[in-house]
Amino acid sequence: MDNQTTMLAIAAIAMAYAATSFIIYQKIGNPKRIKEIQAESSRLSKEMGEAMKSKDDKRIDAINKEYEKFFPKMGEMMMLQFKPMLLILPIYIILTPIVKSTFDGFTIVLPVYLPIFIQNLDKFPNWRNLFGPIGWFWLCVIFGGLAISIIKSQWDSFNAKKKGDGSRPDAPKDDKTKEIAATPAPEMTTKTAPATEKDSVAATTKKTAEITN
């Protein structure tokens, strides 16, 4: 297998791993619930900081009571973040040795240097552009996972916007529809046409005939 084919094969395996991890996280991790808990934590921290700055003891006591109710949610969030790892970690443990043994001897030189934080800590952050099969695998996993997350985020935003526009009664209309809607309806009025001279003569003749008879 030539070097380019090996590079693409490792990238394909990494993308499959990234996509599988993302799906597991979405299905089991419940990211929506995690965001709700994180937002509530940020709100309480901000309110506590403002209360301490203003030395509002009553407000501080009220926030402390909210924190007492909030602490169990922190445990819930930790469990939601941990549960996907029960499936993702075994896949990683099985997959990486297979990649290393199957593509042993593969190397790739990138046109740019990247900081590596997990090796040669004495040279931190250890800028490198030469990677083996596992290094290339992880680069593809990281950037592939980032791309999947961005695409998912954009897709959710598009669907939310589309759903919002379709459900609102004041949803924007196209220019032609707006123009038609803005045009006032013509008034339906009835006017009596003025009598002509011929009509007046005919009426007088008819009245004279009635009197004569």
For residue 131, which of 108, 151, 97 has the smallest C-alpha distance?
Answer: 108
134's CB contacts (< 8 A; 6+ apart) are 96, 99, 100
- Cα gap 11→4, rounded to integer Å: 11
Structure tokens at 129: 């552009």
User: Residue ranges of the domains in the chain?
Assistant: 3-163
pLDDT in tens, 146-161: 999 899 888 888 888 8
Task: Kindly state the average pLDDT of the residues 192-211.
Answer: 47
Mean pLDDT taken over the chain: 79
Local confidence band at 213 (pLDDT 50, 70, 90 cut-offs): very low
Local confidence band at 169 (pLDDT 50, 70, 90 cut-offs): very low
Predicted local confidence at residue 20, as pLDDT: 92
Residue 161 or 139, more confident: 139
Beta strand spans in the chain (E): 108-115, 127-131
Confidence check: pLDDT of 201 > 60: no
Structure tokens at 29: 């991790």
What does pTM read for this prediction? 0.61
